[in-house]
Chain A
């Protein structure tokens, strides 16, 4: 996949130095930000703090949710029925958009994309990777998803049904990957190490049990 160098995400105003000429949207964001500060709606410090807060969010929350679901079938059922309530059970603040969990099985695989912009379950996965926001991923994930998966190294058997979900509106989608073989009896903290960000977007399976270095 081509990697998008565009960091101009409207949720994530970066007042840092640019490695490319300033674009029109960046100029607009900068003008709006200056006005908000000048008129006293926000302080520069508040903006910096928010950026740092988002930069520190990772996909660890999502991994914790998946590992908990792998270890607890009753929790998995609650997660699939109402993901906002189920994630709140784990103390995660998911008061924003509606979250929907999609369970992968041996015969069914889910892939998440936002063709219109970069909608992403940020409350669970942090900020989306650059490729998720690229025009290439956003267009090809809907029109030739199996080829896109293959480029991520995920060879989907022909008889596995592929369901792409385009998060166009008020819902955010979390893929619940399959639990790797050979992890019977593992505790949740150990299981969580196998839950990669990409597996919760659906471009890859969870990491194999053998990928963990011996403790």
Chain B
């Protein structure tokens, strides 16, 4: 399977897209940097499927890993603790590029 736009190990930033309605990117990772752990596969876009479209062509879905201490400043736990989230390709940009800024921040 081709890797798509992001190779494992890539540093990425989650975009804060102004998507209304159904989407699968939790707010707590938006605007944050993480590492691509792996490509999970390609799946129909849930944002389109939720409203009657086929969601095709399928989009690349990546498991992206974030450091807990980056997400929660008050995090109590080991510095090595992480959280991994499946995120579709159109929500990701290479870190250091794109807007990468939380809306309203």
Which A positions have Cβ atoms within 8 angstroms of B?
Answer: 98, 100, 115-116, 142-147, 158-171
Contact = CB atoms under 8 A, between A and B. Distances in A.
Contacts of A146: 76-77, 81
A47 B93 CA distance: 44
Interface string B58-95: 00010101001001100111101111111110000000
Contacts of A144: 72, 75-76
Contacts of B85: 165-166, 168
Contacts of B77: 145-146, 158, 162
B88 A158 contact: no
A165 B76 contact: no
A142 B28 contact: yes
Contacts, number: 80
Interface of B: 24-26, 28, 40-41, 43, 46, 61, 63, 65, 68, 71-72, 75-78, 80-88
Nearest to A169: B86
Contacts of B40: 98, 100, 169-171
Given A115-B26, A142-B28, A166-B84, A161 B78 contact: yes
A43 to B, nearest CB: 25
Contacts of A98: 40-41
Contacts of A115: 26, 28
A158 B86 contact: no
Contacts of A163: 65, 81-84
Nearest to A160: B78
Contacts of B72: 143-144
A166 B78 contact: no
14 contacts: A98-B40, A143-B75, A145-B81, A159-B78, A162-B77, A163-B65, A163-B81, A164-B84, A166-B84, A168-B86, A169-B40, A169-B86, A169-B88, A171-B86
A158 B77 CA distance: 7
Given A143-B72, A146-B76, A168 B81 contact: no
Nearest to B86: A169
A198 to B, nearest CB: 20
A144 to B, nearest CB: 7
